[in-house]
Structure formats: structure tokens, C-alpha cells
Amino acid sequence: MSHAAQAKAQYNLNKLHKRLRRGVGQAISDFGMISEGDKVMVCLSGGKDSYTMLDILLNLQQAAPVNFSIIAVNLDQKQPGFPAEVLPNYLNGIGVDYRIVTEDTYSIVKEKVPEGKTTCSLCSRLRRGILYRTAKELGATKIALGHHRDDMLETLFLNMFYGGKLKSMPPKLISDNGEHIVIRPLAYCKEKDIEKYAQARQFPIIPCNLCGSQDGLQRQVIKDMLQDWDKRFPGRIETMFQAMQNVVPSHLADKNLFDFAAISKDSHNLVEGDTAFDPITVPTIPVGFTDDAETDLDNITDRHRQSELKQNELKIVQLG
């Protein structure tokens, strides 16, 4: 690689790092994820998301306005061919406190789930219980998971399409056993940014062979749909995520969320007022549009123009 190419690659990496760092810092601030004296247990699977989360949190730790400690935890589920030395070597290399927890959940899942059936649900329950137990043993006050913006959107559509609920992944929650606070610091980060960052940083990625690689999963169908939208309609993903942060209960249909029965002519405080007969105003530029999305739009517009030019040239040739 030439000096100019190296300089450009480093510039792009720095820009990407700043964007991810800003997103994580904003999420931590917006949702009160980390407080003074917290011990954050970072769940490290060996995938791009958790590596990036750990890397950014370690960087933020150096300049954060509050003091907090980090311990990385990996659950070795004894999957055949799992490279058990990869994560210890990496974590020792960067000098991070860590613990490797070994539990043979793989055998349990294979024994309980019939061949060809999805293993994700049982695997997730087993893994969650072990991580909760580990957090208690370590005295961790927060459990950090590597789910990002795209995961949250995928979950929203999964619940709408298959579960009949308007529900996603929360950026912060209380664990189901009521003992832990779970945070998702990558909530504002795009998967494509994380993927580029992981490649540039050359993290030693460990593929998932137990659940994530199974074909035909409903989540993969949703992921493909969203990725297709992102390519064809720049800004749509950003706008949908913006919508998740701008919920108007009075303009949905959940009677448990909003007291429709109490509405009367004297009600003047409804959010956004009456839109029963008003046309829906659609912005020319999607809400939440980013510089990256604008660049994507320019690229797609250029491709459309090139396609139109080729079609016109073909028509001219045919007429000739």
C-alpha cells in the first residue's frame, strides 16, 4: 500500500472512530447508561459488534466525566471447533481485565432441540442465565451488550410482523430476574459502520456456528429487507430509527397506553392535535438524514442517471 493510500485509510478510520465514539457517548448520556463507580461487564462474543463496543468503551473510559471500570466476559459454549485461545490472547494483548466462563450449552441445545429446528431461543436463555450469574459473582453493576441500531430496528419489525406488538430492544433495561441493569451502548451506531471499523481494526473475529449462521431465520429475512431498503431508499433507516424516538401514543390505537375513552370536546391537550382530515405532510428530505445517507443518495442518483443515459443511447442506436 502506498503512503497516500495508507494516509487515506487512516483518515477514514479516524473519521469512523469519531462517529462511533460520538454515537456511544450520546447513547450513554441520553439513557443514563453508566454512572460514577460503575463496574461494567462487557459481554464479548468474538463478533464485530462486541469487539467494537469494548474498543469504544475503553477509549471513552480515558476521558469520561465519571470513573468506571470494565471487565470483559466471554462465554465459551464448547461449540466444536471454537478457537478458545483467540479471545484470551487478544485481551491479554490490550491489557484488559477479563474472565472466560466455560459452560457446555452447545450439548444441551443439541440434545433438547430437534434437528433442523431453530436453536436461538434456548441458547439465548441459557446464555442469559449464565451471564447474569457471572455478573453477580463479579460484582458488576452494569451488563453491556453489543446490539446496535440495526438490531433494534430488526426487532421492531420482527415483533410487528410476527408478534403483533410495537416493541423493540430497549437501550437500557432491568434484567428479567430484577437483579441487573443491562445497557446497549451501540444503540445509536450503524451496523455498516461497525463492520467497516472491525475490518479496519483487524479484530480477530470468531464466527458463530450455533445460531447466527442458521439459514431461514426470521431475523435474517427482516435484515435482508432493511438492507434492501437502505440501498434503494437512502435515509429510510435513519427516519425509522428517528420514529422510534418520537412516539405519539394519542395517534396510535393502544387503549392501555392512551385513555381514548376520556377524550371529550373539552380536551385541548392532545399531542399534535387533530389530524383526522389533514393531509399527512411528508418532508422532502427524510427526517434523520445524515451526511452518509446523502452520499449514498448521490451515488444512487448517479447510477440512475447513468442507467437513463444508457437506455437513451440504446434507443438512439435502435432508431438509427
DSSP secondary structure, 43-56, as one string: E--SSHHHHHHHHH
Local structure of 86: helix, strand or coil: helix
C-alpha distances (whole Å) from 123 to each of 111, 120, 183, 300 are: 12, 5, 20, 40
For residue range 6-54, what is the model confidence (pLDDT) as tens digits? 888 899 999 999 999 999 999 999 999 999 999 999 999 999 999 999 9
- State the pLDDT confidence band at 309, using cuts at 50, 70 and 90: very low
- State the pLDDT confidence band at 124, using cuts at 50, 70 and 90: confident
For residue range 203-262, what is the model confidence (pLDDT) as tens digits? 999 987 544 445 457 888 999 999 999 999 999 999 999 999 999 898 899 999 998 898
CB atoms within 10 A of CB 175: 14
Q: Say what the pLDDT of residue 74 is.
A: 96
111-120, 165-174, 283-292: which range is least confident on average?
283-292
What are the φ and ψ backbone dihedral angles of 79, each rounded to 5 degrees? -70, 140
Q: What pTM, to 2 d.p., does this model score? A: 0.84
Please check whether residue 74 is in contact with residue 87, taking contact to mean a CB–CB distance below 8 angstroms: yes
